[in-house]
Chains A and B, each alone.
Chain A
Amino acid sequence: MSVTYGRTVATDPSFPPEAVPGTTQPTRSKKSRPHYRLRRHALEAAAMAFGVVLAVWSVLPIYNMWMIALSTHDGVFAGSLWPEQPTLEAFRVVVTEDFWYLARFWHQFGNSFYVGLSVMFLTLLIGSLASFTIGRMRIRHGWMLSNAALMTYVIPASFLAIPMYRIMQIYGLTNNLMSVVLALTTFATPYAIFIFSQYGKSIPMELDESARIDGANPFQIYLRIYLPLMAPALVAVGTYALLLAWNEYLYNFLLLSTPESMTVAVALAQFLNSDESPWNFMMATAIIYAMPPIILYYGFRRYMAAGLTMGGVKG
Chain B
Amino acid sequence: MSLTVFTVAVLCTSLGAGVVGAILGLGGGILLVPILTIFYGVDLHYAMGASIISVIATSSGAAASYLRTGLSNLRVGLFLVVATITGALTGAFLAGVVPTRWLELILGLALSYSAYTTIRQLADELPEDVSTDGLAIRFDLEGTYHDVRLQRDISYRARNVAGGFVAMYGAGVLSGMLGIGSGAFKVLAMDYLMRLPMKVSTATSNFMIGLTAAASAGIYFSRGDIHVLIVAPVAIGVLAGAYLGTQVMAHMRNTTVRKLFLPIVVYLALSMILRGLGIHLL
A and B assemble together: no
Using CB atoms and an 8 Å cutoff, list the residues of chain A in contact with chain B: none
